[in-house]
Amino acid sequence: MTRARWATAGLGALAAGLVVVPGLVAGPGDEPPLVAAVCGVLGAILGWLVPYLCVKIGAPEQADWDTLRCRTVTGVRTLDVASVRRVTGWREVRNSGLVVTVLAVTDSAGTRIGFSAEDDAMRRVLRAVAAQVTRPAPGTPPVRASRLALSALEVRPLPWGGLFLRTVLSVVRATAYILVGIAVPIVLTLS
């Protein structure tokens, strides 16, 4: 397994352990300790952070025209720009209050790098990915892209209300993570 997969698996195991173990430590019918709820919320937040393991840090290190090297939390990753297989995206609010679309690009080797769609240093990658989405090379599988990614690549606009719905679903997902983090230890101690 690659470093990124090990980091994701470790973070997922830690999150699951923080959610489940405190509830198992308390006996049936015991008052759930405050530590269990805090650990549950912490585990839920760690699970929510998993997609951010692939986001680039700093300026990209350009290897050549076909590859792109970027530093991420899990180390340096090299993306083969000529063999992109999947593009997904999510929206996040930066500390300045600006809403930014983050694209995660995966190549045929499984390397995944995430970056802001508004990042000027990544324009070459965005143009190459948009070209592969609209005109795939003969003999290669088509690039799978989410609606938000297609909108960020300016290939196809989102349907009416698409960004609003995406934002509402992100809030619901974050709330669900936190509620599960609180509820699991409590339910385990009550059973």
Q: How far is CA 96 from CA 17, 24, 39, 93, in A?
A: 34, 41, 29, 8
Residues 182, 130 share a domain: no
Residue 64 zone, left/alpha/beta (φ > 0; ψ -120 to 50; rest): beta
Residues 96, 70 share a domain: yes
Average pLDDT over residues 4-14: 66
Residues 30, 10 share a domain: yes
Residues 43, 73 share a domain: no
Distance CA 139, CA 42 (A): 46
Residues 113, 35 share a domain: no
Residues 96, 145 share a domain: yes
Strand partners, 106: 86, 112
Q: Give the count of domains, the chain.
A: 2
Residues 140, 76 share a domain: yes
**For the purposes of burial, counting CB atoms within 10 Å of the CB of 3, is it exposed (0-12), middle (13-18) or buried (19 or more)?**
middle
Query: 107-163: per-residue pLDDT in tens?
Result: 888 888 888 877 766 777 788 888 888 887 788 788 888 888 888 887 777 777 766
Maximum C-alpha span of the chain: 64
Query: 153-183: per-residue pLDDT in tens?
Result: 877 777 777 667 767 777 787 777 777 777 7
Close Cβ partners of 190 (under 8 Å, ≥ 6 residues apart): 28, 29, 32
Q: Over pLDDT 90: what percentage of the chain?
A: 0
Residues 16, 94 share a domain: no
State which residues form the domain around 76. 53-168
pLDDT band at 47 (very low <50, low <70, confident <90, very high): low
In contact, 155 and 136? CB cutoff 8 Å: no
pLDDT at 24: 65
Residues 69, 156 share a domain: yes
pLDDT at 1: 45
Residues 73, 31 share a domain: no
Residues 143, 113 share a domain: yes
Residues 79, 123 share a domain: yes
